[in-house]
Structure 1
Amino acid sequence: MITVSDLSVQFGKRILFQDVNLKFTPGNCYGIIGANGAGKSTLLRTISGALEPTRGSITLGPGERLSVLSQDHHAFDAFTVMDTVLMGHSVLWA
């Protein structure tokens, strides 16, 4: 389970989003939709730990981990799908 509590991201005076509270529970499938520039990618980068939030916290359940595949769809052209997936888990990839 991923829990997002009171999450806010702000760049200078521009508030991208604030006071976000979410709980991603096991067994469900989620989609994030919105207009260009609404903050979808920023939200995902914040949840993955690639970007520090201005305020709030993101917690994973005990023993859980999060893997992320870059939005650059050409970054893995030289690799098979299996290798690309395994690269998301450093122990398996090694």
Structure 2
Amino acid sequence: MIMQGFVRFRVPIWVRRWVTVLPSVVVVACGVDITQALIASQVILSLTLPFPMVAIVWFIGQTRIMGNYAVPHAVVALAALAAMLVIGLNIWLVLRT
């Protein structure tokens, strides 16, 4: 729903539902252990989380992009610290496995 405002076209609700449900149906149909699939999906999500975090931290502090809605530098610094913490934890996770 949020992306529709940026890309300026609507995705039908049935397409959104199929796109979100189909991968889990395929995993279950293939006989994969559900618990292991859930853990793997969460690891993948945690590894991809820093990409939007870094983009958001970059954009929220840009006055030319955000205009009057740009956040103060202190908030940007806290958000950058949170992003670095997530990135550091992901590096630790990868090196540990």
With normalisation by structure 2, the TM-score equals: 0.26
With a CA cutoff of 8 Å and minimum separation of 6, indicate the structure with the bigger relative contact order. 1
With normalisation by structure 1, the TM-score equals: 0.26
Rg comparison, structure with higher value? 2
Between Structure 1 and Structure 2, the one with more strand by share is 1
